Amino acid sequence: MAQAAIELIGINKSFGAVRANRDINLEIARGTIHGIVGENGAGKSTLMSILYGFYQADSGEIRVGGKPASIKTSNDAIALGIGMVHQHFMLVDNFTVLENIILGAESDALLKKSIAKARSELERLEREYGLEVDPDAIIEELPVGLQQRVEILKALYRGAEILILDEPTGVLTPAEADHLFRILKQLKEQGKTVVLITHKLREIMAITDNVSVMRQGTMVATRETAKTTVGELAELMVGRRVLLRVEKGEAEAGAVKLAVKNLTVKDSRDVTMVDDISFDIKAGEIVGIAGVAGNGQSELLEAISGIRRAVSGSVMLDGKPIDLTGAADPGELRDRGLAHVPEDRHHVGLVLAFEENENSILGYHDDPRYLKGPFLNIDAIMADAKDKIEKYDIRPGNPRLKTANFSGGNQQKIVLAREMEQDPGVLIVGQPTRGVDVGAIEFIHKRLIAMRDQGKAVLVVSVELDEIRSLSDRILVMFAGRIVGERGPEATEGELGLLMAGVERQEAAE
């Protein structure tokens, strides 16, 4: 093995009483792509934040290029040649690419010289790594894939030899992700070291040389990627065997439960996000909506669930119209049997400061079962919450615990339990497993399929293509606010990927 670019020896980090990193040892070889996988809360981000100087380790040693390093701030990290591409980009939206790249690294009091210098440097980087970006483009006008490229350029411009990428493909189409991987391989060939943090095992297998698995704050294993399998990694992550693909029978679709016709929705900036969409969902089927984040899926969900007012269009629920452009509110829709598991469980689906039992009635707090006159029927609410905790295996099983203290997977189970146990006719689910650990994903998928088999109409919106493909009986692909195609579950990833990128539509227009 080549010389180590980074060595972490005995790293410990606690937040209050929570031990986020325990005695971590990690060696990352120079000129390799090293993957770090683990469930949410396994401590990956904390570890990388220590390496990048956001946090200080409580104990342990960091060696960069064989020499002990003290990294107190991100400037120290940059000086040591460590660059980081964050999951959420740190770019100034209304600056140009060049301006963003020199930000914080201006070489002169006046900008002109810095920009000139950056321009020539940028040209060199473009040549060497195939990172083409128009240096004078405004960031907000660039697609996310290119914005990410700017982040990479920013790190390289600062002389990064070691590049850390945190969940880099979450916002990319499959084609953009492939392009990113080509760039990373190019970087590797030029002798750079890449650390890739992800929870997508497929990516790990496709691109990394070595992979380390974290679980509950500890480093459980490091493997040579070529000598491991997705199954083994998943098992290491969770600590037990997991089913990666859900098993389900044929759908037995019945009558139309929800019919959406010519629905148009605008966002708060008055931009049309959902553009004249029509589709329907029948009883006993799961319809999946695939698409890159930001193509109108969120607005579609919000409109159908009554949270956001639609501009025009008509929607029939069980054959009766609902007025989504006017008076309909989420409470009314719930009464009519439409349950909604929102994309953003932290701010919408749950009140994190509430106790678990309080969240188990959110939205259904008007239900006479939970009330005694104007008062809450605490006994009934607690009994109900305990019942759901048992049925959905929510842990820890304490209905008095603050919701913020549950893990992502268990929080999602709280929402699902609440919505599914109301026995709705239609269930719409946004990002069913975002930020949810592998073990819980399996559980959630099984539950959704069980809902389908009970004859419910289920709509699933997800940016995880794998999830859409394994759950759906029909797949609709959204691009730029429109449905650009419908496919069966047998559709290949490449086919869906092209649709998600809007390729077919552009060709048709030409």
Partner 1 sequence: MSTPYAKLPAWADYGLIPLINLSVAFIVAGFVVMLVGENPFRAAVILVEGAFGKGTGIAFTLFYATTFIFTGLSVAVAAHCGLFNIGTEGQAYIAGLGVGVVCLAFDSVLPWWLTFPLAIAAGAAVGALWALIPAYLQAKRGSHIVITTIMFNFIAASIMVYLLVGPLKPAASQAPQTRNFLAGAELPKLNWIIELFGAKIRSAPFNICFLLALVMAFLVWLLIWRTKLGYEMRTYGHSPKAARYAGISETRIILIAMMISGALAGMMTLNPVMGDQHNVAIDFVSGAGFVGIAVALMGRLHPVGIVLAAILFGMLYQGGAELAFEMPAISRDMIVIIQGLVILFAGALEHMFRPYVQALFASFSPRSVGIEAVKGKGA
Binding site for partner 1 (CB under 8 A): 15-20, 38-46, 49, 54, 167, 197, 199, 216-217, 305-307, 329-332, 334, 340, 342, 344, 347-354, 358, 362-363, 365-366, 371, 374-376, 378, 396, 401-402, 404-409, 411, 435
List Cβ neighbours of 24 (8 Å cut-off, separation of 6 or more). Answer: 8, 10, 11, 12, 43, 47, 60, 218, 219
> Do residues 1 and 29 touch, judged by C-beta distance below 8 A?
yes
Backbone angles phi and psi of 132, in degrees to 5: -75, 125
H or E element that contains 146: helix 144-157
List Cβ neighbours of 262 (8 Å cut-off, separation of 6 or more). Answer: 276, 277, 278, 312, 313, 314
The least distance separating partner 1 from the CB of residue 298, rounded to whole angstroms, comes to 12
> Which is nearer to partner 1, 294 or 435 (by Cβ)?
435
Gap between the Cα atoms of 87 and 359, Å rounded: 29
What single letter denotes the amino acid at residue 451?
M
> Which is nearer to partner 1, 183 or 376 (by Cβ)?
376
> Which is nearer to partner 1, 133 or 213 (by Cβ)?
213
Residue 127 CB neighbour total at 10 angstroms: 10
| Angle at CA of residue 249, ends 243 and 254, nearest 5° | 135
> Which is nearer to partner 1, 114 or 359 (by Cβ)?
359
The least distance separating partner 1 from the CB of residue 166, rounded to whole angstroms, comes to 8
> Do residues 356 and 394 touch, judged by C-beta distance below 8 A?
yes
> Do residues 177 and 206 touch, judged by C-beta distance below 8 A?
no
> Which is nearer to partner 1, 208 or 305 (by Cβ)?
305
Nearest to 297 by CA among 482, 493, 471, 169: 482
The least distance separating partner 1 from the CB of residue 475, rounded to whole angstroms, comes to 26
Residue carrying structure tokens 């707090």: 365
> Which is nearer to partner 1, 75 or 405 (by Cβ)?
405
> Which is nearer to partner 1, 363 or 497 (by Cβ)?
363
List Cβ neighbours of 472 (8 Å cut-off, separation of 6 or more). Answer: 286, 287, 288, 460, 489
The least distance separating partner 1 from the CB of residue 375, rounded to whole angstroms, comes to 5
Strand runs labelled E in 344-443: 371-372, 375-376, 426-430
The least distance separating partner 1 from the CB of residue 112, rounded to whole angstroms, comes to 37
Enter the DSSP assignment of 368.
Answer: G
The least distance separating partner 1 from the CB of residue 68, rounded to whole angstroms, comes to 26
The least distance separating partner 1 from the CB of residue 29, rounded to whole angstroms, comes to 23
Angle, helices 378-391 vs 408-420, to 10°: value is 110
> Which is nearer to partner 1, 26 or 251 (by Cβ)?
26
The least distance separating partner 1 from the CB of residue 56, rounded to whole angstroms, comes to 13
